[in-house]
């Protein structure tokens, strides 16, 4: 807890705006929704995200994470470690996809990595604009600051866990669960 939040409880409300309509922001409450602090923009490294978001996830240490479909040409993750300020990073090798597919994020149990290992799942976009929608996964071991240099493409037969073996070639709106 803190003086503003002695019991350490917080609830989030995040809004996803259509591109060009407005900013994507989150607000928090410490009193169960009776009052809300002012909304704060969810950020990518170089701009405030105005695109498609996945679902908010909370880490074991209270850190908040929002997966983003659009982050300067790649997909990315915005994070807040203090419930108020947001910063974002790109996930290397996973390109912006159609606005009709949001990425997902899972938080591991935290016994191997402080705060829990993070898993990012997305439908692969294409640098040229035509999404191939391959199922992609990337991992972070440092609370979302850095991500796998080369994400795992699960549609490729040589992947350690391959969707190709059962015919999975493309996805939209992935879900990922970590435990």
48 or 121, higher pLDDT: 121
What mean pLDDT value characterizes the chain? 80
3-state secondary structure the chain: CECCECCCCCEEEEECCCCCCCCCEEEEECCCCCCCCCCEECECCCCECCCCECCCEECCCCCEEEEEEEECCEEEEEEECCCCCCEEEEEEEEECCCCCCCCEEEECCCCCCCCCCEEEEEECCCCCCCCCCCEEEEEECCCCCCCCCCCEECCCCCCCCCCHHHCCCCCCCCCCCCC
Model pLDDT for residues 12-47, shown as the tens digit of each residue: 888 876 555 667 788 899 988 899 998 888 888 766
pTM score, whole prediction: 0.84
Structure tokens at 104: 């997902």
Model pLDDT for residues 45-81, shown as the tens digit of each residue: 766 655 677 889 998 888 999 998 888 888 899 999 9
């Amino acid at each position: 807890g803190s003086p503003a939040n002695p019991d350490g409880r917080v609830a989030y409300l995040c809004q996803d705006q259509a591109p060009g309509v407005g900013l994507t922001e989150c607000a928090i409450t410490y009193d169960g929704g009776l009052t809300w602090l002012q909304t704060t923009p969810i950020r990518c490294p170089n701009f405030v995200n105005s695109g498609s978001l996945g679902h908010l996830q909370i880490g074991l240490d209270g850190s908040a994470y929002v997966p983003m479909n659009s982050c300067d040409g790649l997909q990315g993750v915005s994070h807040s470690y203090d419930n108020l300020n947001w910063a974002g990073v790109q996930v290397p090798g996973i390109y912006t996809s159609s606005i009709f597919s949001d990425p997902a994020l899972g938080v591991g149990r935290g016994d191997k990595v402080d705060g829990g290992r993070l898993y990012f799942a997305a439908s692969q976009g294409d640098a040229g604009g035509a999404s191939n929608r391959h199922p992609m996964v990337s991992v972070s071991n440092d609370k979302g600051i850095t991500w796998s240099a080369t994400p795992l493409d699960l549609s490729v037969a040589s992947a350690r866990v391959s969707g190709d073996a059962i015919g999975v070639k493309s996805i939209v709106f992935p879900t990922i669960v970590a435990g």
